[in-house]
């Protein structure tokens, strides 16, 4: 047997482990029960925020996540992931299981009354996702699975993870008591019945529509509470309806139902979710109205919802699907059901400042915006709230930002705009869906099938998350891209500050390996240069004109797609694009305008030699 001497690096053990993102520079340890950030709520928004902050270097002594529940949700709740959300999860290395095991929806079928008026017929099938994206489909998978994926990755950075059974009772901002950690949080550990008090630099309320954090901060959700009463039910369906495994919207004289195919269960059966219109809109009035008549209307609406049962939901579904049948598969139980009447409501502000003008408390997700669940936006918009806030908090806490108050305040400036657009969209979508066949006894004018389909197609840009655009601000400069970028088809990929960088497939010059541009961007830094085949040839002829600061990954990249045409950049001129840590374009400049890029970075970041780590 041959003998040999084996020499290896002391780092060899780490090579068999999953790659762990290196954290940002860490500051000094804190006093016991003093945290940089306390996150309240461990749903998808709270978990993603906690995970991102952990990846940014906030260890357990600096970061605490509290949740009143005993663990992750087991049934019901959100189930849909839009293309932009999956892009983000992919950039974090968390999308593989979702893509592999979730139900994928590529098409939408529309059903309307047949000519005889006695049943329904399929009138059209359209592509589900009309916006260009890395993932051209929607995904449905149980919220509990998504939470488990986030928690498993969090365990790589945090020994404590989420502290469950922790009910927040009081939140106070008192800079006089502690100027560095002015937020005081009192919570009850229901597993031990012990009340505890911790202090924090910042608190983020991700604790849902009935947010304790929001109420403690004196913030309110404002808007209209009127909405049609809908029911939702998850079941394994025994049916001859042809599109039970395709997303579909069905309208009949009996009402409307939306079919959302769900993931496969361990039993091998496939779950289906039905959203079922149960009644006309209930005039509940303003959320904060207190007149006797309005309060009585709200009470009547609650009583009507209380009369809804799983039996009545199935009965209405059968009426709408006729002549097709639908039952719960023998040997299975209804997985989950609920009745709801959610109005469109929005908080006036998403943050609260201390007397120094620094945002100390934030709300995210359902804590600051509520809407109907029919378009699959709740979990997606909520997680994107966290994605926007995380890097800003991390840069501030690690002393990396040049203007902390402005950067933190930009969270509310940017995300409230998106939430307002969500409310407007949801109001319109809920109205047209419920109006598709008109109200009872002709109380509302019916939309034609074509009108409904046109509305559905137009709102696709928003629902996918691919078409949102942040307004001008500290990290979004929109005043100089004219003359650098040609065209205005921003949804198709034309570079636009405030919009996400569209994914482009490229071939790595070193080994011709195909990869996605989004995979090559280190989102926690701000890579300045995007290069492709034509630009590379141009610079090969004029190497002295190449700007400094290029990333190695891009120095040897060839385009597998026409990146210049997609991004609207003249290949003979080139461009410099600064990408924010959350993947959104921050600024676009001419290739030689390095000073503009420098000014952009100086406006956001402090210089390295001024850091006090």
What tens digit of pLDDT does each residue of 368-405 get?
998 776 666 789 999 999 999 999 999 999 888 888 78
Q: Which residue has the higher pLDDT, 511 or 482?
A: 511
Q: Per-residue pLDDT for 555 more than 60?
A: no
Across all residues in the chain, what is the average pLDDT? 82
Q: Per-residue pLDDT for 134 more than 70?
A: yes
Least confident span in 148-157, 317-326, 499-508: 499-508
40 pairs with which residues across the strands? 66, 205
Q: Where in the chain is the domain with CATH 3.40.30.20?
A: 490-610
Q: Where in the chain is the domain with CATH 3.30.9.10?
A: 102-138+224-341
Fold of 24-99+141-222+345-463: FAD/NAD(P)-binding domain (3.50.50)
CATH number for 102-138+224-341: choose from 2.60.40.420, 3.40.50.2000, 3.40.50.10860, 3.30.9.10: 3.30.9.10
Q: Which residue has the higher pLDDT, 117 or 152?
A: 152
Return the CATH class of domain 490-610. Answer: alpha beta
Question: Residue 372: its pLDDT value, please?
Answer: 72
Separation CA 114–CA 613 (nearest Å): 70
| Alpha helices (H) along 446-548 | 449-458, 460-463, 517-520, 533-541
At 545, list the tokens.
């004109």
**What is the Cα Rg of the chain in Å?**
26
Q: Per-residue pLDDT for 498 more than 70?
A: yes
Q: Per-residue pLDDT for 495 more than 70?
A: yes
Residue 610 three-state SS = helix
Question: Sign of the CA dihedral 478, 483, 489, 494?
Answer: negative
Global pTM reads 0.86
Least confident span in 88-92, 151-155, 359-363, 562-566: 562-566
Quick: pLDDT tens for 81-132.
Answer: 999 999 999 999 999 999 999 999 999 999 999 988 889 999 999 888 888 9
DSSP 8-class letter at 181: S
Residue 452 three-state SS = helix
Quick: pLDDT tens for 452-472.
Answer: 667 666 677 788 889 999 999
State what percent of residues in the chain have pLDDT above 90: 53
Separation CA 597–CA 595 (nearest Å): 5
| Alpha helices (H) along 111-247 | 143-154, 212-216
DSSP 8-class letter at 218: T
Separation CA 496–CA 585 (nearest Å): 7
Q: Where in the chain is the domain with CATH 3.50.50.60?
A: 24-99+141-222+345-463
Q: Which residue has the higher pLDDT, 189 or 72?
A: 189
């Amino acid at each position: 047997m041959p003998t040999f001497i084996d020499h290896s690096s002391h780092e060899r053990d780490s090579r068999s482990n999953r790659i762990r993102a290196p954290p940002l520079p860490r500051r000094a340890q804190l006093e016991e029960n003093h945290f940089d950030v306390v996150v309240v709520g461990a749903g998808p928004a709270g978990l993603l925020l906690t995970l991102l902050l952990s990846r940014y270097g906030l260890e357990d002594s600096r970061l605490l996540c509290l949740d009143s529940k005993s663990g992750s949700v087991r049934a019901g709740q959100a189930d849909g992931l839009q293309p932009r959300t999956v892009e983000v999860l992919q950039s974090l290395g968390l999308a593989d299981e979702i893509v592999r095991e979730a139900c994928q929806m590529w098409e939408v079928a529309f059903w309307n009354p047949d000519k005889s008026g006695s049943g329904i017929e399929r009138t059209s099938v359209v592509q589900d996702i009309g916006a260009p994206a890395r993932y051209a489909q929607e995904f449905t998978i149980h919220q509990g699975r998504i939470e488990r994926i986030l928690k498993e990755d969090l365990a790589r950075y945090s020994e404590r993870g989420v502290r469950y059974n922790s009910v927040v009772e009081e939140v106070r901002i008192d800079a006089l008591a502690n100027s560095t950690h002015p937020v005081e949080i009192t919570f009850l550990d229901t597993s031990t019945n012990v009340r505890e008090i911790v202090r924090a630099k910042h608190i983020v309320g991700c604790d849902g529509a009935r947010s304790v954090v929001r109420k403690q901060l004196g913030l309110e959700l404002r808007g209209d509470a009127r909405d049609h009463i809908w029911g939702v039910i998850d079941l394994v369906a025994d049916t001859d309806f042809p599109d039970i495994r395709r997303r579909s919207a069905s309208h009949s004289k009996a009402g409307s139902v939306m079919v959302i195919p769900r993931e496969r269960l361990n039993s091998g059966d496939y779950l289906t979710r039905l959203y079922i219109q149960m009644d006309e809109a209930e005039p509940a009035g303003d959320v904060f109205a207190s007149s006797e008549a309005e309060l009585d209307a709200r009470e009547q609406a609650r009583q009507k919802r209380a009369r809804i049962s799983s039996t009545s939901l199935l009965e209405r579904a059968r009426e709408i699907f006729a002549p097709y049948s639908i039952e719960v598969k023998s040997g299975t139980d209804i997985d989950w059901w609920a009745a709801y009447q959610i109005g469109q409501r929005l908080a006036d502000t998403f943050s609260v400042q201390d007397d120094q003008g620094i945002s100390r408390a934030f709300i995210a997700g359902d804590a600051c915006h509520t809407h109907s669940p029919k378009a699959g936006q709740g979990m997606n918009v909520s997680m994107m709230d966290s994605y926007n806030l995380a890097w800003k908090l991390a840069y501030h806490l690690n002393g990396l930002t040049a203007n902390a108050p402005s950067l933190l305040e930009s969270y509310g400036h940017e995300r409230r705009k998106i939430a307002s657009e969500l409310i407007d969209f949801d109001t319109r979508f809920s109205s047209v869906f419920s109006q598709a066949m008109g109200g009872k006894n002709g109380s509302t004018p019916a939309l034609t099938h074509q009108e409904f389909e046109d509305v559905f197609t137009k709102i696709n840009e928003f629902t996918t998350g691919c078409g949102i655009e942040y307004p001008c601000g500290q990290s979004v400069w929109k005043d100089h891209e004219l003359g650098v970028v040609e065209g205005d088809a921003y949804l198709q990929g034309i570079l636009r500050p405030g919009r996400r960088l569209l994914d482009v497939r490229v071939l790595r010059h070193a080994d011709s390996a195909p990869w996605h541009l989004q995979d090559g961007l280190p989102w926690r830094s701000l890579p300045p240069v995007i290069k492709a085949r034509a630009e590379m040839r141009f610079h090969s002829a004029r190497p002295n004109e190449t700007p400094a600061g290029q990333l190695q990954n891009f120095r040897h990249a060839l385009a597998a797609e026409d990146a210049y045409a997609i991004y609207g950049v003249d290949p003979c001129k080139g461009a410099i694009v600064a990408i924010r840590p959350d993947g959104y374009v921050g600024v676009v400049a001419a290739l030689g305008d390095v000073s503009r890029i420098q000014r952009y970075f100086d406006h956001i970041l402090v210089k390295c030699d001024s850091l006090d780590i």
